[in-house]
A and B are shown apart, each in its own frame.
Chain A
Amino acid sequence: MAIQDIFQAVMTFDEASVKKLVQAELEAKTDIDAILNEGLIGAMDEVGKKFSEGELFVPEMLMAAQAMKSGLEILKPHLAEGAAESKGTVVIGTVKGDLHDIGKNLVAMMMEGAGFNVIDLGVDVDAAKFVAAAKDNKARVVALSALLTTTMPAMQTTINAIREAGLTVKTIVGGAPVTQAFADQIKADGYSDDAPGAVELARRLIAA
């Protein structure tokens, strides 16, 4: 039941216990994939669910992610080669002309918490940079953020550039003024109104 303890420790934001418990499981030769998927990632999924339901709030999501990450750091040297990439690479950034990073950071953090290999390009990212990063890293998903009505058109530009480059990577969009209708209009592959929803979306699109 120790994996359940790891799950609980993440859920209660107890970083010190997460480290101790993960270390103990490693020494007990517990299956590493189980520690990662059922313990750490499983807990972050539950945190995401409770956040979406309005039971948990942003600071708690941050603390849980920090606890999860500290466990992941201990696991990393023991993970099989390429395991970090196995769930897929997500390239994320805020589009050209837009400097807002808080929502984008929350999504990046939850993507990491879900075990994705996340490449965060930062803010004010032009279309060419998204295209290059997606190509170079064989990304499965490109996630675009915009917080201003004036920068939403840059999402269109970026998605067009990705398609023109012939990439088959899935594109997802989000941010305060962005809606499902807008996502459909610019032919994004998906939209989410919160960070845990973006994780679910990425999983669904990669599995499809």
Chain B
Amino acid sequence: MIIIGELINASRKAVGTAIEAQDAAAIQKVAQDQDNAGADFIDVNAGIFVGKEPEYLKWLVETVQAVSDKPCAIDSPDPKAIETALAVHKGTPMINSISLEKDRYENLMPIVAGTDLKVIALCMSDEGMPETVDDRMKIADKLVNGLLKNNVKLENIYVDPLVQPMSVNNAFGMEFINTIEKIVTTFQGIHTACGLSNISYGLPARKFMNQTFMVMAIAKGLDGAIMNPLDKKMMANIIAAEALAGKDNFCMNYLKAFRAGMFDF
């Protein structure tokens, strides 16, 4: 599972404050914690700062990479902010995210075209939020083929089928999960990723539903997540689910996690 640590997001109050105060130590602590907990990418987002986003995003990349070898996921729809951050990034980052919304697609495609950047492809278009498997696949087809045509490698694409909340429509869980299955069988070698906490919007005990949903999605092929890697129970669920899905040879990761105390709560 590719884990994209989501905690360095300016819309989280403590992080927003740290960015504004240019408090490198506070940001570095969040970066290191996520790195140690098993994050593969450290997401950086400075979206709430209109006008200052390029400057802050660049600062976040430099600040995070001073203490972590993990690449960043550069989280912005603004091509200027992304390019500023890319200029200082070491290694191969992820772009979070392109979508089929016209502006976003046209702004981000030139940045990823012909590069080795990883890119999250979010199943959203100007026609609104997709609800069914078919809605999502129509968008995914156009997005993936557009990226391939622009010389982005299939294995660098992470399709996010867009999680919608169960509380308003009880089909939303399985429509998402069945899309994961269809994507991984249609485009073999592609990745999937999602921020899945939206599934439990409007319900209590959200962590419990999020964990269960993660396990169900992994069974159908989900192999990337934008999440909080410090959530120990979620991490344990992922490790067990990947073993059960046959993605963990001889259950070696599972055993390693056991010995590291990852199943002790």
Any A CB within 8 A of the CB of B201: yes
A102 at the interface (CB under 8 A from B): yes
A4 touches B (CB below 8 Å): no
Residues A59 and B202 in contact, CB atoms below 8 Å apart: yes
Return the chain A residue nearest B99 by Cβ. A99
What is the 8 Å Cβ interface bit string for chain A, positions 66-102, against chain B (1 contact, 0 not)?
0000000000000000000000000000000101111
Residue of chain A at shortest CB distance from B101: A99
User: Judging by beta carbons under 8 Å apart, are B167 and A99 in contact?
Assistant: no
Chain A residue at smallest Cβ distance from B10: A149
Question: Are A57 and B77 closer than 8 Å at their CB atoms?
Answer: no
* Interface check B128, CB cutoff 8 A: yes
Interchain CA distance A99-B11 in the complex, whole Å: 19
Known: A57-B204, A150-B77. A102 touches B168 (CB 8 A): yes
Measured between beta carbons, the chain A residues less than 8 angstroms from B126 are 99, 124
- Which residues of B from 134 to 166 have beta carbons under 8 Å from A? 164-165
How near does chain B come to A148, taking the closest CB pair, in angstroms? 8
CA distance A124 to B50 in the complex (A): 20
Q: How far, in angstroms, from A149 to B103 measured CA to CA in the complex?
A: 16
Residue A62 is within 8 A (CB to CB) of chain B in the complex: yes
Q: Does A58 contact B (CB under 8 A)?
A: yes
Nearest CB in chain A: distance from B103 CB, A: 8
Q: 1/0 per position for B39-52, CB-CB distance to A under 8 A?
A: 00000000110100
| Binary flags per residue of A125-163, CB closer than 8 Å to B gives 1, else 0 | 000000000000000000000000110010000000000
Report if A105-B129 is in contact (Cβ < 8 Å); known contacts: A59-B202, A150-B47. Answer: no
User: Whose C-beta in chain B lies nearest to the C-beta of A152?
Assistant: B50
Select one of B11, B50, B167 contacting A59, CB under 8 A: B167
- In the complex, are the beta carbons of A59 and B129 less than 8 A apart? no
B128 touching A123, Cβ below 8 Å: yes
**Measured CA separation A204–B167 after assembly (Å):** 29
Q: Please tell me which one of the listed residues A57, A100, A149, A153 contacts residue B202 in the complex, with CB atoms under 8 A apart.
A: A57
Q: Give how many A residues have a beta carbon under 8 Å from the other chain's beta carbons.
A: 18
Output the least CB separation between B78 and chain A (Å). Answer: 8
Closest-by-CB residue of A relative to B128 is A99
B129 / chain A contacts, CB cutoff of 8 Å: 99-101
Q: Check if B164 sits within 8 Å of A102, measured CB to CB.
A: yes
User: Is B21 an interface position by the 8 A CB rule?
Assistant: no
Does B180 count as interface, using CB distance less than 8 angstroms? no
Measured between beta carbons, the chain A residues less than 8 angstroms from B120 are none
What residues on B are CB-neighbors of A54 within 8 Å?
Answer: 204
In the assembled complex, the CB of A56 is this many whole angstroms from the nearest CB of chain B, namely 10
Q: Which residue of A lies closest to B165 (CB)?
A: A102
Q: Which residues of A contact B31 (CB under 8 A)?
A: none
In whole angstroms, how far apart are the Cα atoms of A24 and B128 in the complex? 42
- B181-219 vs A, CB cutoff 8 Å, 1 = contact: the mask equals 000000000000000000001111000000000000000
Task: From the candidates A57, A97, A105, A149, name the one contacting B11 in the complex (CB within 8 A).
Answer: A149
B124 within 8 A of A: yes
Flag if B128 contacts A58 (CB, 8 Å). Answer: no
Contact residue among B47, B78, B124, B201 (Cβ-Cβ distance under 8 Å from A102): B201
Q: Mind listing 19 A-B residue pairs with CB under 8 Å?
A: A54-B204, A57-B202, A57-B203, A57-B204, A58-B168, A58-B201, A59-B202, A59-B203, A62-B168, A99-B129, A101-B128, A102-B164, A123-B128, A124-B126, A149-B47, A149-B48, A149-B50, A153-B50, A177-B11
Closest 5 CB pairs of A and B: A58-B202, A58-B167, A149-B47, A149-B48, A59-B167
Q: Chain B: residues with CB nearer than 8 A to chain A?
A: 11, 47-48, 50, 77-78, 101, 103, 124, 126, 128-129, 164-165, 167-168, 201-204
17 additional A-B pairs beyond A102-B165, A177-B11, beta carbons within 8 Å, are: A54-B204, A57-B203, A58-B165, A58-B168, A58-B201, A58-B202, A59-B167, A62-B167, A99-B129, A101-B128, A101-B129, A102-B164, A102-B168, A102-B201, A124-B126, A149-B50, A150-B47
